[in-house]
Amino acid sequence: MARRKSSAINQTSLLLIAVILLLAVIVILLLGYASGFGIMNGIADMMSSGMFGSIMNGGSGGYAGMMGGTGSSATSARINISIAEAHANDIPSYAHVYPNNNTIAFSSSNITLVVLAMGVQRAVNLTREQPPSYDSNSSGNAFVIDGLIDPTLAIPQDAIVRVEFINLDSSEYHNVIMTATGPPYQYMPMSAMNGIVSMMPIIPHADYSNGSASEYNYTAVFGNAGTYWYLCMYPGHAQMGMYGKIIVT
């Protein structure tokens, strides 16, 4: 009996430690963003052999361009909100948009994916499309990609996907990560770390008083065919429906 009890305590302790670690990572990501990614680079160095790898290596140079060596191409910047919205409606020729089944099929091995984050209501106003049923709570948050809300993305295997993530929300922090683990997601979406493909910091909301938004760029490659998901790691967002499906063939 004593043995069984201590094992249960150990499991509870491990879960607590996992929650504390995830909270710590989120705080560090926020601090890293605030300080121009100085901390992020440090973490990326420490974790370069770990699961985050060089994807985490945020650049400190804004528009300065590529940072570091192979795979270390993440950059952060500010972008004008109206330019960001125009950019979002500038759909590339290799992106085939099917509003009827909320799907975008990409026919290129070099893809630029502009991902906007915002509240569901703003997404509906911007696109005049409806969100998928799982993300229809008007107090929730959503992704807008090529004029659709949380669309399914069909992407060729091994395609180079340049993600341009822009937070157009007026009040909430967001990010977009990609993973093999699908919904349902918990308030703290720790399950998403299993099968993680890409990771980025959680970035601040836009400033509508001066018309500028936060942007973060990184590159993702899906080396294996299958079903993947993109989601926001900010606590509660993916749980309330801020996610979409990726089909790699």
The site for Cu ion (CB under 5 A) is made up of: 141, 174, 232, 234, 237
Cβ-based nearer residue to Cu ion, 52 or 234: 234
- What are the backbone angles phi and psi of residue 232, rounded to the nearest 5°? -100, 135
Shortest Å, Cβ 26 to Cu ion: 12
Indicate the DSSP class of residue 213: E
Cβ-based nearer residue to Cu ion, 115 or 148: 115
Shortest Å, Cβ 100 to Cu ion: 27
Shortest Å, Cβ 38 to Cu ion: 24
Cβ-based nearer residue to Cu ion, 143 or 228: 143
Q: Could you give the CA distance from residue 167 to residue 117 in angstroms, rounded to a whole number? A: 5
Shortest Å, Cβ 131 to Cu ion: 14
Shortest Å, Cβ 152 to Cu ion: 19
Q: Could you give the CA distance from residue 84 to residue 12 in angstroms, rounded to a whole number? A: 45
Where does residue 100 fall: left (phi above 0), alpha (psi -120 to 50 degrees), or beta otherwise?
alpha
Cβ-based nearer residue to Cu ion, 174 or 245: 174
Residue nearest to Cu ion as judged by C-beta position: 232
Shortest Å, Cβ 169 to Cu ion: 8
Cβ-based nearer residue to Cu ion, 146 or 150: 150
Do strands 160-167 and 212-221 pair parallel, antiparallel, or not at all (unpaired)? antiparallel
Helix (H) or strand (E) holding 231: strand 226-231
Cβ-based nearer residue to Cu ion, 120 or 197: 120
CB contact set of 92 (below 8 Å; sequence gap of 6+):
108, 111, 112
Q: Could you give the CA distance from residue 23 to residue 39 in angstroms, rounded to a whole number? A: 16
Q: Could you give the CA distance from residue 26 to residue 90 in angstroms, rounded to a whole number? A: 32
